[in-house]
Amino acid sequence: MASRPQAGGQGGGALAPGQRMGGNAEDNSMHRAGARAQVVGPDPTKNFFVATWTRAKFDPSRFPQSLNCLAGKAHLDNFDSHAGNLWRFKFIEGSERLFTLACMNLGPEVVFLSGDLSVVKEEVKAQVWEWTPYRPFRGNLPSDISIQIRTRGGEMLLCSDERSRSVCLLAPKEANFLDPRTGEHAFNEAWEITADEEIDEELLMGLLVK
């Protein structure tokens, strides 16, 4: 694999191989987001489904959506899509918050999400992202974690629009736009990630009887 990126950001993509980030950048971002040091984040050894944290009213006709990169661009597709929907958080050396986002099941090679939301094969060209905790959504499984994903060192949030099945980068103010027709949020500003792993049978039965 190519050299691991050490930092990056909106407009800056990734830094040159070997470049290091400042020592306190992560701590500052955690304080800005009101995060707590003991919050459990994504496990870098597991693959995750990155599902939408839906702010609109529940629509029983809409199948659960998750981040997908089939056709080489980030978008939403059904949670159980056959490919392009398993992601791994590849953390930058020395950080528990900064990462590149790798799709593990698009094809024979791992690809990475870039700053323009297309996929690239070289990790050094990938966008460096930062996660911050978000209030729980469903939280049915032990591995469910609600997070916001933003560009490293910036304020651009990775957002989704389930009506158009689109994924985009928006400033927080833009992400809170209300649809004038419905009065509801037009965009989701957070995600609920779920590990791709076997579910304990007892736990599964408990979910089915809820």
Q: What is the pLDDT of residues 146-162, one digit of tens each?
A: 999 999 988 899 999 99
Are residues 93 and 183 in contact, defined by beta-carbon separation less than 8 angstroms?
A: no
* CA gap 188, 190 in Å, rounded: 6
Residue ranges of the chain with per-residue pLDDT less than 50:
1-13, 15-37, 203-209
What pLDDT was estimated at residue 199? 67
* Other beta carbons less than 10 A from residue 65's beta carbon: 22
Per residue in 162-196, pLDDT tens? 999 999 999 999 999 999 998 899 999 999 999 99
Would you give the DSSP letter of residue 73? Answer: B
- Determine the pLDDT at residue 10: 41
Which CATH number applies to 8-16+42-208?
2.80.10.50
End-to-end CA distance of the chain: 45
Look over the chain and give the mean of its residue pLDDT values, rounded to a whole number.
81
Structure tokens belonging to residue 125: 């060209």
